[in-house]
Structure 1
Amino acid sequence: MRRDAVTDAPIDPARDHAHDHARELIEAALTNEAQRPVVKSFFDPATFTVSHVVRDPGSNACAIIDSVLDYDQAAGRTATASADALIAYVEAEDLEVQWLLETHAHADHLSAAPYLQERLGGRLAIGRDIIKVQDVFGKVFNEGAEFRRDGSQFDQLFDDGDRFAIGGLQATALHVPGHTPACLAYVIGDAVFPGDTLFMPDYGTARCDFPGGDARTLYRSIQRLLSLPPAARVFLCHDYKAP
């Protein structure tokens, strides 16, 4: 019988233990300010992407979620203005970056995580099923053997229910596929970062027509998030303009 890695209790396969733990984190934060992260959000108007710096209120530890590397499509050039704004904030607040978290592989913007890691440190993490995404797009773009499809570009590949900490903040990863097979939501104290699994109410849901996307799977993932305690604070990855 499988056993919980933290409590060593037998695992009931009929229960959603990862969801249970996420709910417990949110509920605990309601009575413990030390488990309520301070969140500073940065909006990128070119891609309507929101990046978040999530900090432990009891220390200088922080994580950066879904950073943006600027890209000029017409010129075919990248720039780092958005990432540099994150760096300036981290340095001004004297923060220690422990994690660079990606909710999924983004089709609408490039990630600045490698650039940030060079300058700020931290462990780069994403969901384990990024391996499936790499395999699919490696074939789509006819990448050769030099393109690694094992997720080794990242320091940590999270499975559903994996637990981690940002300083004293307790956090967990929830697998919420549908938009892509690798989508994760991060629950950090009472804060939920759902990536593209949830959008603003005026814009609907993420698209499911990428390879590996599935509308029914996305629906189930959305229901999993919506069944978390209503007191949770939700920090989205996008704020698109409504059509």
Structure 2
Amino acid sequence: MKNIVRYSPSTGSGSPDVWGIYEADTGSIQYIVADPQTREAALVDVVQNFDPHSAKTDFSSADQVLALAKENNLKITWVLDTHPHADHLMASWYLKEQTKAPNAIGEKVCEIAELWSDYYNLPNTFEPTTDFDYLFKEGDSFKIGELEVNVWLSPGHTLGSITYIVGDAAFVHDTFMYPDSGTSRADFPGGSSKDLWNSLQRILALPENTRLFVGHDYGKGGRDPQWEATVAQHKASNIHLAGSVSEAAYREQRDERDATLALPDRMLHALQVNLRAGKLPEPEADGHRYFKIPANRF
């Protein structure tokens, strides 16, 4: 079954067209963001499919995203990720090969790679400077067609998460959830509820009509998946932030909630792939690829 697709049209000059493609297995939202004038586009946080029971991978979701771009006469000029995801394998390298577009992520992926090299006991294995064409830092900018994209460092969920702001659209990944689900966890290695609070407040200072596109949704209460809400909507109804919530109160509820959460079932597989831009581990002597899973580290 194909993933759910929704279109959020440009609101005028300087505003992008956005398609959200929902990947149900992980509750992830993949994005196409395009300049309506030039038809140039970027792909954001696209999923490489993975079955945790059989360790089988495929690119059916990525291929759907590419087909959607083709249907809308879009030229892919960027392959972007917001952070090394813990709950799904990224498709960055595959998309780079398919589109010939450069791939990019935040520069602090290098610090995350150092951290996880220890967890996996794989020294000198992850080389983000080789596997990604661009490592963006706070304040960088680039263009999708004629649309300017500004890069913010938005740590908390990870120490190296970044937000892409394109006109009145912001791709805020694992900071906010949909308003009825609050915000994202901050307990992974390198994460911090204090940093997350600061990132959330900075995003909430954007113009109130800014469309915030989140990284995940899980259909709370059985509703259909949702991933777009404005700054104004989050200020009014986000269950973790609406009203006069203090930093201390927010961090207390975030930390208490995180302490109850299990690791995502793909996390220990995903990080060793995502720190390679979505490439599986190198084949061993028998020609097969193998995941390395640390025991009793979490």
**Matches of 2:126 and 2:53 in 1, distance apart?**
28
Q: Of 158, 166, 173, which aligns to 1:188?
A: 166
Tell me which amino acid in the other structure corresponds to 2:160: A
Q: Verify: 1:217 aligned to 2:217, yes or no.
A: no
Q: Verify: 1:66 aligned to 2:37, yes or no.
A: no
Q: Verify: 1:197 aligned to 2:155, yes or no.
A: no
Greater relative contact order, per chain length (Cα 8 Å cut-off, separation 6+): 1
Tell me which amino acid in the other structure corresponds to 1:190: D
Q: Of 110, 114, 127, which aligns to 1:131?
A: 110
Tell me the residue number matched to 2:279: none
Q: CA deviation at 1:93?
A: 2.3
**Matches of 2:179 and 2:168 in 1, distance apart?**
21
**Matches of 2:68 and 2:182 in 1, distance apart?**
32
Q: Verify: 1:206 aligned to 2:214, yes or no.
A: no
Q: Percent identical across equivalent pairs?
A: 36
Tell me the residue number matched to 2:148: 170
User: What TM-score does the superposition give when structure 2 sets the normalisation length?
Assistant: 0.69
Q: Verify: 1:103 aligned to 2:78, yes or no.
A: no
**Matches of 1:215 and 1:134 in 2, distance apart?**
21
Q: Of 85, 95, 98, which aligns to 2:64?
A: 85
Q: Of 206, 227, 238, which aligns to 1:228?
A: 206
**Matches of 1:79 and 1:194 in 2, distance apart?**
26
Contact residue 34 and residue 169 of structure 1 kept, 8 A: no
What whole-Å deviation, never above 9, does each CA across 1:43-64 have from its counterpart, x for those lacking one?
Answer: 0000110101011011121000
**Matches of 2:20 and 2:159 in 1, distance apart?**
26
Contact residue 34 and residue 56 of structure 1 kept, 8 A: no
Tell me which amino acid in the other structure corresponds to 2:72: E
Q: Verify: 1:144 aligned to 2:144, yes or no.
A: no
Tell me which amino acid in the other structure corresponds to 1:132: E
Q: CA deviation at 1:209?
A: 1.3
Instruction: Return 5+ residue gaps in structure 1 as ranges.
Output: 1-28
**Matches of 1:213 and 1:179 in 2, distance apart?**
5
Q: CA deviation at 1:242?
A: 2.9
Q: Of 126, 129, 134, which aligns to 1:156?
A: 134
Contact residue 43 and residue 51 of structure 1 kept, 8 A: yes
Tell me which amino acid in the other structure corresponds to 2:193: A
Contact residue 135 and residue 149 of structure 1 kept, 8 A: no
Tell me which amino acid in the other structure corresponds to 1:162: D
Q: Verify: 1:44 aligned to 2:20, yes or no.
A: no
Q: Verify: 1:241 aligned to 2:216, yes or no.
A: no
What whole-Å deviation, never above 9, does each CA across 1:7-36 have from its counterpart, x for those lacking one?
Answer: xxxxxxxxxxxxxxxxxxxxxx97xx2311
**Matches of 1:99 and 1:68 in 2, distance apart?**
15
What whole-Å deviation, never above 9, does each CA across 1:92-143 have from its counterpart, x for those lacking one?
Answer: 2232111111111100001011111111121111111111100000110111
User: What TM-score does the superposition give when structure 1 sets the normalisation length?
Assistant: 0.84
